[in-house]
Structure 1
């Protein structure tokens, strides 16, 4: 009888232990599942053939022949159509694993981060003055500098003399921000477009100070991270500030992610990364550059023309000597081009896109 009692107690004890183990396993499984949901998933572009997405392969082949014959400074050409990678070619010694300097495409990244910072409450809006964050601007002799707003920096109309006219000295200066702020005022803030790499760098400083993170850390958290952009390089000045106007290097496939993010109104994987309203404001005319060119918030507004003479609206981030992320909403297309900025040949990449790539898209 006593033996039976001990056996019964042993069985009950084992049941209790096993039950606890099973519960622990279930809790562990729940934690892993929750972790998986919160992790940034590796993104691989879904691929399709040009024909399946409505491209003209004969004209696409002609474009490739033209690149090899007449646009020899190109490193890469990628086309995203309807969310699929339909064309990916690398030239010279480049490949898909090699980052390329995208130069002023950096400015468009700063635009995206500014919109995100406003949405997250770090900044109050585009009418906020840079001097409210960059308080050292009060030490400048010209009081007009205190009136430069985020809008003016985003539209390259801050009124300061451009650092690009003195780029060699700016890029080797120990403090890019101070160099840019020290430039004299030549027009009233917001009045005239004047291309300047210094203004987006001032935005980089604003982002860093208001978020409490470096510009790169904020990008990793709020933009690059969600897009699984991890393989890139970003230059800093001697103070540690990340260059807001140039000298970001990226993979072409990652450039395409930024383009498609904008094409999808700031949404990625069902999540709103950039506010939709900011995407719309950034990619419409905010200021006139010249008789044929308009500018948004650090994005160029483009008009293309097809073989029949029809005008097609587009916008793009572009960089020095042939770096492009061009979005064509009407055709649900992103075109990515990278080029050898040091080449003796200056390829007319706008001509390439309009004369040879656009006809293949329709």
Structure 2
């Protein structure tokens, strides 16, 4: 959905969009309804990939800490590797970005901001960049001169500096201090800084007292999420880029919310048009020919869409598949056509894990799809 179309929709219009009668569907209350899938060769193949033996001394190979599958709102598979358990709030890394976007979606539905608002309207420390819009940040298209390199290139990494050294005291302020090296909205560049500026903007919109509790009152409590922990930086801003922790079962609730277009039970928690924006490819995205399996960026979610010059990133999954992804293999996959939500927590260090491989095997195990 184009940004201009989403901007024109009023809150009343968004509610009308979702006023059709509800179908009989399974929703978790305090816990999920559980109907474990029977053992099968396909399920064994999935487990052989996800839980293969790994040399933990060298951290080589796939390391899954948790794998959980929801189908039709029912828990059909769940397995953990020590020390992770069903009660462990796991660090989600950059899944936090997509989680925070859902928090922002509630604020959007309340009319607190528009996608074409200048960021500086809601975060005055960003006043040096008056042409950057809220929608640009959501598409990782701020135009800021930012380097998203991790532990393998720490000296030039903007994100390492933000999280661990000179920027850690005020992560949004550190991001705002960067100059532009592209016209906002014209170029995709993945940026944890963009996500943390969104967090600071929400803080200024809400005021200190409401902001402190807002992820819980706006999103977690309505979904029945009880395990969430979200770290704040020294300035008191939620680290939207990286530092949310949830159990696998609680993270799956967010996946089900997104699978069902923002509806939770009989309530439209997120505007359906907001979810549509999250699932719309960034218009000016150019695939990297050296990384053909990179997912396509939407509104701080990742998409499996085929573009004019590139095939689907995950060829064995439906094109409607989308995901929240994090460092070292964290993943929340949503497959609307199959009514599947898959949560994976992990500690992958060597780059051998492949999204498509797990999705292919999960589809075979839980839908009977042939690889």
- What TM-score range do you get, normalising by the shorter chain? 0.7 to 0.9
Name the counterpart of 1:359. Answer: 364
1:193 aligns with 2:188: yes
Structure 1: runs of 5+ lacking an equivalent? 1-40
Q: Deviations over 1:240-290 (max 9, x none)?
A: 111121111111001100000111111112111111111111112124251
| Alignment-derived partner of residue 21 in structure 1 | none
The two structures have a TM-score, normalised by structure 1, of 0.80
Counterpart-to-counterpart distance in 1, 2:36 and 2:49: 21
* CA–CA distance in structure 2, aligned partners of residues 209 and 233 of structure 1: 21
Residue correspondence of structure 1 range 284-299 to structure 2 within 5 A: 284-287=280-283, 288-290=285-287, 292=292, 293-299=295-301
**What is the correspondence of 1:229-308 to structure 2 with a 5 Å cutoff?**
229-287=225-283, 288-290=285-287, 292=292, 293-302=295-304, 303=312, 304-306=314-316
Aligned to 1:151: 135
Q: Residue deviations 1:157-182, cap 9 Å, x none?
A: 00002253222221133111111001
Aligned-residue CA RMSD in angstroms?
2.0
Alignment of 1:196-207 (within 5 A): 196-207=191-202
> Relative to structure 1, is the Cα distance of residues 61 and 163 closer, same or farther in structure 2, using a 3 angstrom cutoff?
same
**Counterpart in 1 of 2:33?**
46
Of the two, which has the highest radius of gyration?
1
Residue 101 of structure 1 corresponds to which residue in structure 2?
91
CA pair 313-169 structure 1, distance change in 2 beyond 3 A:
same
Match of 1:222 in 2: 218
Within 2, Cα distance between the matches of 1:192 and 1:319?
22
CA–CA distance in structure 1, aligned partners of residues 243 and 31 of structure 2: 25
* TM-score, normalization by structure 2: 0.78
Secondary structure at 1:305's aligned position in 2?
Answer: coil
Q: CA deviation at 1:345?
A: 4.1
Q: Does the 8 Å contact 1:73/1:345 carry over to 2?
A: no
| Structure with greater proportional helix content | 1
Taking structure 1 as reference, are residues 262 and 344 closer, same or farther at Cα in structure 2, changes over 3 Å only?
Answer: closer
Shift of 1:216: 4.9
Residue in structure 2 matched with residue 167 of structure 1 by the alignment: 159
How far has the Cα of 1:323 moved from its partner? 0.5
Deviations for 1:192-211, whole angstroms, at most 9, x for unmatched residues?
Answer: 00010011111101111112
Q: Which moved more, 1:233-242 or 1:187-196?
A: 233-242
Residues 301-346 of structure 1: CA distance to partner in whole angstroms, max 9, x if unpaired? 014433xxx8543000111011111001111101110002xx5444
| Cα deviation, residue 215, structure 1 | 4.3
Query: Is the Cα–Cα contact under 8 Å of residues 79 and 336 in structure 1 kept in the other structure?
Result: yes
Q: How does 1:109-124 map to 2 (within 5 A)?
A: 109-123=99-113
- CA distance in 2: counterparts of 1:219 and 1:329, whole angstroms: 25
Residue 341 (structure 2) aligns with: 334
The change in CA–CA distance for 1:87 and 1:216 in structure 2 (over 3 A counts) is farther
Measured after TM superposition, the shift of residue 358 of structure 1 is 2.3
Q: Residues of 2 paired with 1:96 and 1:215: CA distance?
A: 29
User: CA 1:180/1:84 → structure 2, altered by over 3 Å: closer, same or farther?
Assistant: same
Alignment of 1:315 onto 2:347: no
